Structure 1
Amino acid sequence: MDEELEPEPAVVMGAYGGPARPVESGAGETMLLWSLGDPASHRPNAFVCHGAGTLSIDACGRRITLHQSPSNFKAASGVTGAVVWDSGVVLAKFLEHAADCGLLAVRGARAVELGAGCGLVGVVTALLGARVVATDLPDRLRLLRKNLEENLGQGDARVAELVWGDDDPDDPELLHPEFVLGSDVVYSEEAVGDLLATLNRLAGHGTTVLLAGELRNDVVLECFLEAAMEDFVVGCIEQEQWHPDFRTNRVAIFILVKKKPPPSPESSP
């Protein structure tokens, strides 16, 4: 194996107590994921069915059933919030597994989910004891709200509109939570700038960002990672840390922690 593909030594980042491999460059990371993992050779939609009206999955000791809208997904290009993707299942089960192993203290924390879609990650995070705000675009909120209500009742989760790239939200619960979560939110170069602007606004220095993504386009991922590393320390959580029954080379999980500002220069005497 070429020397530039050698993984970096693992470190602990943010609120996650397990190891994460530091991402040193966007180009190097995408080369590593595509060269070693060969995502295109693995079966897509290993844990989901986009043609079904519902998706059921066991998590946190109960059966979760989510409504999907396959007709909307097929009719409109880019409507990712209409169905559940593998990355959402992987992230939700990773959170459950990490909490069960004592590597992630979720109970009592505030968590914001970006691009929540059908709401699987938000539902599981709420069942783990967090106070969740699941966000998405205005036209995605009806399905999201229905899934949260049917799986959580009047629990510690609610829905909020959030348009990436807009000014600071009025809702104080969106600012500086312990966790910002997202699955399949890195999907186009055009959306990278708005996504990172929102991450920068929401995340404080005590926020841990966990993003799971489908490995479809190495150019888009490289663009996101290079831009993210300007303001965040970025790591990749290897599959050995995921739930053992929910692993696929077509998905990657990244952890981001906001960089501390440089110390201000000492004032002249």
Structure 2
Amino acid sequence: MTFFDQVFRDVEQFVKVEDAEEEICELYSVYYSNSGSERQSLVDSSKTEVEVEIKGGLRTIELTIGQNPNINSEKGQTGAVLWNSSIVLSEYLARRTLSGWNLAEANVVELGSGCGLVGIAMHRLGARRVVLTDQARLMKLLSRNAERNRIARQAGNSGKRKAGRCPTVGTLLATEYDWGRAPEDPRILEAAPVDVVVVSDCVYHETVVPLLVRTLQTVCGSRRDVPVVALVGQELRSDVVHQVFIEALLKSFVLYRVPVHPSVDRSYALYAMWLR
């Protein structure tokens, strides 16, 4: 069963999004009615290294993630530290592996990986191949995080594995990808057919929207035999920016909002989509 088939099988649990204004009204009427103090930070963005536990799957996944707060303080840079949505999306995926989603045959591309948490979590959840991508200046940080959290290839099955590690060892790599054009590195799209694209908290300003949507179109349009699923997690911040993003997506994607949990849905939105 393809990854699309697994997701589509659960589509009745999702909320189909057909009008951007209605979607924003529904999301932000709840968001603005809540006190901002209700949303707690799930990570410490001031540290250069954090220990992260992804819970909800068969085992807790323990990761050591490096950050660079200095880069993140520069104008226009947001990807050098962890954001809450990456935790939310990773734990949702961990839970879904217990309820029917099998990542063993999935080839994954993460866009705007930043520190790489979601893609690394999918690697540890058993994905066959994960390609982490971001801008050139984040490659050192991203590659180091991939290396330190990659499942070690072992001869035989002797010895204990760390919590969250799967018996099947997939591929995990990091490479540069500038949004808005076809990727230069053939490992992103040409080495293996993409099954799923993941994006977490990459839309902070409306100027980013056209580039991200164009890139999603490129990656999701890279194969014709089955639809490529994109999973996008977004923390609720600006209703204006969020509406611009949804309007752009609806022009070319079938779009569903995926309910996670009432406590989560007040502050975050998770979407599943594929090209029309």
What TM bracket, shorter-length normalisation? Answer: 0.7 to 0.9
Aligned-partner SS, 1:38: helix
Match of 1:174? 189
Going from structure 1 to structure 2, the CA distance change for 1:168 and 1:53 (only over 3 Å counts) comes to closer
Going from structure 1 to structure 2, the CA distance change for 1:40 and 1:183 (only over 3 Å counts) comes to farther
Deviates most, 228-237 or 17-26: 17-26
Amino acid at match of 2:107: R
Going from structure 1 to structure 2, the CA distance change for 1:49 and 1:14 (only over 3 Å counts) comes to farther
Please state if 1:101 is matched with 2:118: no
Q: Report the TM-score when normalising by structure 1.
A: 0.83
Deviations 1:41-64 (A, max 9, x none): 234452111112222122353311
Amino acid at match of 2:105: G
Residue number among 215, 226, 229 corresponding to 1:208 in the alignment: 229
Match of 2:41? 46
* Contact 1:180/1:208 (8 A) holds in 2: yes
Gaps of 5+ in 1: 1-12, 260-269
Match of 1:34? 28
Deviations 1:143-168 (A, max 9, x none): 01101100115651101111110235
- 1:248 shift after superposition: 5.6
CA RMSD of aligned residues (A): 2.1
Equivalence map 1:92-241=2 (5 Å): 92-102=90-100, 104-130=101-127, 131-153=129-151, 156-171=171-186, 173-174=188-189, 176-204=193-221, 205-240=226-261
Going from structure 1 to structure 2, the CA distance change for 1:171 and 1:22 (only over 3 Å counts) comes to same
Q: Report the TM-score when normalising by structure 2.
A: 0.81
- 1:185 shift after superposition: 1.5
Percent identical pairs in the alignment equals 31
Please state if 1:61 is matched with 2:82: no
Paired residues, number: 241
Alpha-carbon distance between aligned partners in 2 of 1:80 and 1:45, rounded to the nearest angstrom: 19
Alpha-carbon distance between aligned partners in 1 of 2:33 and 2:85, rounded to the nearest angstrom: 13
Alpha-carbon distance between aligned partners in 2 of 1:81 and 1:53, rounded to the nearest angstrom: 13
Amino acid at match of 1:239: V
Going from structure 1 to structure 2, the CA distance change for 1:233 and 1:61 (only over 3 Å counts) comes to same
Alpha-carbon distance between aligned partners in 2 of 1:118 and 1:195, rounded to the nearest angstrom: 18
- 1:106 shift after superposition: 1.3
Aligned-partner SS, 2:198: strand
- 1:26 shift after superposition: 1.0
Amino acid at match of 1:64: L
* Contact 1:187/1:220 (8 A) holds in 2: yes
Deviations 1:210-253 (A, max 9, x none): 0001111111111111111111011111123x9xxx83622110
Deviates most, 191-200 or 35-44: 35-44
Alpha-carbon distance between aligned partners in 1 of 2:178 and 2:21, rounded to the nearest angstrom: 28
Going from structure 1 to structure 2, the CA distance change for 1:250 and 1:137 (only over 3 Å counts) comes to same
Alpha-carbon distance between aligned partners in 1 of 2:43 and 2:111, rounded to the nearest angstrom: 20
Alpha-carbon distance between aligned partners in 1 of 2:247 and 2:61, rounded to the nearest angstrom: 39
* Contact 1:14/1:207 (8 A) holds in 2: no
